[in-house]
Structure 1
Amino acid sequence: MHWRKMKLIILLFIPGILANNAFPPNSGNPYYNNHCGNHRYPLDRNYPNQANLGSNRSPNEIVVGTNSNFAFKFLRLAASNGDQRANSGKDNLVFSPMCISSSFAMLALGARSETLDQILRGLNFKPAEIAERNIHEGFHDLIYMLNSGKSGLHVEMGCCLFVQNKLHPKPDFLYGLRNIYRGDIYMENFKNSAETTQHINNYVERKTHGKISKLIDRVDPLTEILMVSYFYMKANWKKPFDPKYTEPREFYVDPYTVIKVPTMFQMGRFESGRDDQRACTILKMPYQGHADAYFILPDKGKMDRVVSSLSNEAVQAWKRILHRSSVNVYIPKCSVNGELNLKDIVYSMGIVDVFTEKADLSGITGQPQHRVNSAIHKAVMVIDEKGTEASAASAMDLVPMSMPDVFRADHPFLFMLVESSTESIIFMGKISNPAES
């Protein structure tokens, strides 16, 4: 039996770049002029005996909490999955759990039966307890809050489907794609591989403001649906580093490898603390707007222990541990990027059928014979001095009378970017070698 292929490509872009343009309407695309009734969320495939969710927590609170659990689970699997990278223990790992989970949640709009159940369970939702419409509503509210600027951050987040022009996506799916997940859609001739490849790369280049000009080398002519998801963000430090204090310092990649990397320095009053239970030290640095960076520095040789112990409970415990004090901060200046094959990771999470002949994604086009051929997540993270246009003098606090604490990230560390008004984890990284780009 001939099975049609659907390729899923997930693109992420980074803290550090300003998104100036508002999300453009998909004008001129006839598929957006569909009429799906007056339902804000067209899919409501509740399960038998399903609980009436939402009375105690809003949908976006449900999504944020569940997505945090997904983020830590994904980190554990990705950090330990040696098949993903040549040497997983020493390579950098960067990803956006929000970008990944929202992409698969969007895919759930077109999934049916066991395929749908696997996606929702793989994302850490419990379909028997949570109405699917609440999941989509939660993602909708979170995505639109991030894109609206209400968080005080410059964010552009969305997705795009490139569909073989002989197919006809279903109106309900298109409605959800556009109105819930802020999606675009373009009809393509995948058999014209060169032209389609150029169109996709041009789209990605435009959405990342010229920072990524070549996402893919070529499109498989057998591809019928290709999905791109992107996350583009600028987060300025509330208190920027002064470049004149950046200088080469030693970084211990492992006990046998020491390198020199540009290391930023500033003295200031920050929240920091020691987590003895998880063998790590935490530094919390605020961005402008509603976002914070958590730098998590494991004791030397304890990275695996820390990764395996991270959870929502750990983050809640840090609220009791962290205290504001004078801190001398040493952070490597780096730009790291990576590519993950999501298939093996989400396979371990139970999302299996979408990659097999058992896939039921008939909600996309009405035709059951679609499956995801590949799922790729590309991410870039920049950690540098950039912040507001403040004078150099404002970047250094007065020297305190008492000896300050010292946070010196001179060996592998973890990074987490949290939108503070919702406590949503939107970016994570494991920096093993800041010199590797």
Structure 2
Amino acid sequence: MMASVFSHGLLLLAGLCALLPRTQTTDDEDPYDPSIGSWQCRKVALTICNVSISLFKELTQQSRDGNIFFSPISVVASILTLSLGAEGNDSQRILEALKLNKTGLSEAEIHKCFQYFLRATNQPAEMSPMISGSSVFIHQGLKLVDKSLKGIKDLYASEVISTNFRESSKAKAQINNHMMKKTKKEIGTMVKELKNDTFLALMNYIIWNGKIIRYYSCHFLRMEDFHVDHQKTIKVPMINNVGLFHLFRVRDLSSMVLVYTSPQVIPFTFFILPDHGKMHEVEQRLTYPDFRRMFQQFSLRTVKVQIPRLLVPETHGVESVVNLLGISPLFKKAAISSVAVEDTVQKSFKVVSKAMLTLDGKDISTSPSSCLKKDEWAAVPLFQLNRPFLIFAQERTNSIPLFLGRVAIPRR
């Protein structure tokens, strides 16, 4: 693990795969720029995808065999949110570290692309299984500088809330209660520890309750073996289903791939199952063009699937990412210059990104007897996620990488 350069204080950027906030403005106040759209922002989305694979590979080196799950768009957005307060050429150097300077867009246009991504992805509740939002807590008596405040509200749709961080227990309760209310109790405890020298807490969240949409009557839950490694096997509740999926083999990655593309959910979801003993090799060989080539192999077919019920919350420090990018000093300066306070220069902060995906199958009630004895399913191919696998979820319209990770233990 890379050593953190941040020793105390807290900037908490946390959430269930943070980002994708619902706008806080009315239609009359909406600052959205209609001149920015999919065509102008396509290179930004592609850059984020490529950066996400690099970050994933770094995380695999830090955790060889455990769960890894994060939101690439949220990590990049957290860095860009803080870059709004950067002085001089610091913000441009941050864009260079993220390779966003090669998109051909200005800094202002890049931020507007993120605004567009949020707007395009944030579907009405009745159409989307996602819950999302963003809040900034700032110590009472302090204020965000004007350019940071405007960008945080207009571009990243965050609300700003005054908090007395000197009374850390009350501040922690305020944040946790606020997040519990905003997420309809999906998030129980957002903050477990909060130091009294905190001056800013930026919280973004997205909750994706994934579902396997059924096209046939054959679906049920049953306890099955999940082989964590060649020595350890655990019992997990497995969703058994017969449905329409894209199933194919990627020879270059020594993997079988199942892709879920139902129009009833926002993301394309890739489940990548490496051959036995090939996980680490696949992780290091993986590139974003691999996913782009997979689209050419799409062929919808009937498949019997066994997918474990998933509850995979993982926490990763964004400071290790900025260390990797070589912009730790710039990141720190940008965060400090976002707040109008004289003594903040002497303080450090910590950035945390928490990601969660659930695939629960709560509404599955059909018994195995309704489909296991049907002879017509005998020739249908079987796809079993009964050992560690990779998962990648990409927003459908703009190809934004929402989630990326390795599932080594399905439920935590």
Q: TM-score, normalised by structure 1?
A: 0.80
Structure 2 residue corresponding to 1:424, chosen from 385, 400, 406: 400
Please state if 1:149 is matched with 2:124: yes
Q: Paired residue for 2:10, among 7, 11, 17? A: 7
1:261 has 2:236 as partner: yes
For residues 28-70 of structure 1, what are the alpha-carbon distances to aligned partners after superposition, in whole Å with 9 as ceiling and x for unaligned? xxxxx9xxxx9868xxxxxxxxxxxx99973432332122112
Counterpart position of 1:294: 270
Letter aligned with residue 87 of structure 2: R
Q: Match of 1:365, SS?
A: coil
SS at match of 2:199: strand
Say which SS state the counterpart of residue 403 (structure 1) adopts: coil
What is the aligned partner in structure 1 of residue 51 from structure 2? 70
Q: Deviations over 1:309-335 (max 9, x none)?
A: 222210111122232223221111231
Q: Distance in 1 between matches of 2:179 and 2:31?
A: 31
Unaligned runs of 5+ in 2: 1-5
Please state how far the C-alpha of 1:390 moved relative to its aligned partner. 10
Q: 1:12-35, CA deviations, whole angstroms, 9 ceiling, x for partnerless residues?
A: 3279xxx9x976569xxxxxx9xx
Counterpart in 1 of 2:204? 229
Q: Please state how far the C-alpha of 1:306 moved relative to its aligned partner.
A: 1.6
User: Could you report, residue by residue, the CA deviation over 1:285-344 in whole angstroms, capped at 9, with x for unpaired residues?
Assistant: 134144322110011111112222222210111122232223221111231222222212
CA shift in 2, pair 1:14/1:67, >3 Å: closer
Query: Which residue does the alignment assign to 1:85?
Result: none
- Structure having the higher helix fraction is 2
1:375-386 residue pairs with structure 2 within 5 A? 375-386=351-362
Q: CA deviation at 1:371?
A: 6.4
Structure 2 residue identity aligned to 1:8: L
The separation in 2 between residues aligned to 1:11 and 1:271, in whole angstroms, is 33
**Residues of 2 paired with 1:292 and 1:396: CA distance?**
27
Tell me the secondary structure at the aligned position of residue 10 of structure 2: strand
Are the counterparts in 2 of residues 291 and 419 from structure 1 also a CA contact under 8 Å? yes
Q: 1:58 aligns with which of 12, 15, 39?
A: 39
CA contact (8 A) 2:259 2:271 kept: yes
Asked if residue 79 in structure 1 is aligned to residue 60 in structure 2, the reply is yes
Q: Given residue 66 of structure 1, which amino acid in structure 2 is its aligned partner?
A: T
Q: What's the counterpart of residue 49 of structure 1?
A: none
Matches within 5 A, 1:267-346: 267-287=242-262, 288-346=264-322
Q: Assess if the C-alpha contact under 8 Å between 2:153 and 2:159 holds in 1.
A: yes
- With over 3 angstroms needed to count, the CA separation of the structure-2 counterparts of 1:222 and 1:405, relative to structure 1, is same
Work out whether residues 158 and 230 of structure 1, in 8 Å CA contact, stay in contact via their aligned partners in 2. yes
Amino acid at match of 2:39: S
Which of 85, 92, 100 is 1:110 aligned to? 85
**Residue matched to 2:213:** 238
Distance 1:121-1:14 versus aligned 2 partners, 3 A rule: closer
Instruction: Answer whether contact 1:14 1:380 (CA < 8 A) is retained.
Output: yes
Report the AA paired with residue 413 of structure 1: F
Is the 1:115–1:353 contact (alpha carbons within 8 Å) kept by the matching residues of 2?
A: no
User: Could you say if the C-alpha distance between residues 8 and 58 of structure 1 is closer, same or farther in structure 2, counting changes exceeding 3 Å?
Assistant: farther
Q: 1:396 to 1:185 in 2, by over 3 A?
A: farther
SS in 2 for 1:77: helix
1:323-402 pair list within 5 angstroms: 323-354=299-330, 361-365=336-340, 369=345, 373-386=349-362, 400=376
How high is the sequence identity, in percent, across the aligned residues? Answer: 21
Superposition deviation, residue 143 in structure 1: 0.7
Question: Compared with structure 1, are the counterparts of its residues 275 and 151 closer, same or farther at alpha carbon in structure 2 (3 Å cutoff)?
Answer: farther
1:248 aligns with 2:223: yes
1:195 matched to 2:198? The reply is no
CA distance in 2, matches of 1:298, 1:264: 20
> Contact 1:158/1:181 (CA < 8 Å) preserved in 2?
no
Distance in 2 between residues matched to 1:67 and 1:150, nearest whole Å: 26
